[in-house]
Structure 1
């Protein structure tokens, strides 16, 4: 049986590669989450809007994103979308030292997470009795004001746990960005494995890194549900 040696990975440059990949994965997930939440809220409002055209736009976004694998989104934004740019801009983008891989991964992860989060937000808003929206509109509130001031505060208790679960999925999905050469944790782990020939130790550390953050997100979800247990729906 081969002897395990985790100490070999504690030396430079392997340690630095793994740490840089881990930090970039956290950054990628965090930036995608910050962009996905407001986008998801906007799409959820479109999905519930009284106008049919607005609902169609929201539905088109959700179905168009969710029905395509994340890997295809990544490849499209990295290889396909830049082809639509003017030649001068495309040359500057690829030859100017820009992190094109990271940008493409961020766009794909943001859109993908937003499509799923929008449905969680829509479900949470629909769980609030519809009579409250009618009452708010009767009092003179606009559709957006009624959603923001009346329905959303009540729906947050329902929406947050599934949104935290989608955050967990977002964190795990950052690993797929290695397919386009994004220098996240899995990309750096493969780089370390190639240089050190320590496959078990390298991917064991990468697994531990993903697991630790995933458990932290899960703990936050459990803590929220313990602090704010779901309330029974009020009758409309």
Structure 2
């Protein structure tokens, strides 16, 4: 198995929360929109994505002295506390990721130093915002140096979008995944043009923020008079066959 990419070079993170968003289909648009939507989700509009859900209320202690009811109350209280602790941890983790993203937003590009383990596997040293982390992190990272899509790149961009949507689509043949994307081009364009108030098709993906970034990049390419020459900065995971 081999991993290839459409773009190359150092990683670049572009945010636009403080400076306005401009054209969502332009060079600065992909990650600008994605980071805005991360903020939008974090403020409570997409609770299911980032865990910003009200805490589970603790059950009241029963007034009875029945041992069975008291034991059930203890189990329910312990379960509620565990859920609240997990959600608090998720909120803190998200806050850190967004904080790092804001601090890096003005950099033209940056590299990730890596550690190698005894097997030769490389792991990024930065723990909070890296390309091996969650969909939230991967959705705001791209290569600083883009490359033209070309015929092969446009095809793999569609396959990447199908893989990110998942839900069984990623198990189809390559032709099946290409057909899936072609059959949902209206949803792709709607997600790119109106991610907040449209039909929010991208939110039904298993990796929604990466899916949105791919939708915007694909929309830009397909609307171009020369799709194969559009510069892409997205990482594409490709399997050699």
Instruction: State the TM-score, normalizing by the size of structure 1.
Output: 0.27
Structure holding more helix per residue: 1
Instruction: State the TM-score, normalizing by the size of structure 2.
Output: 0.27
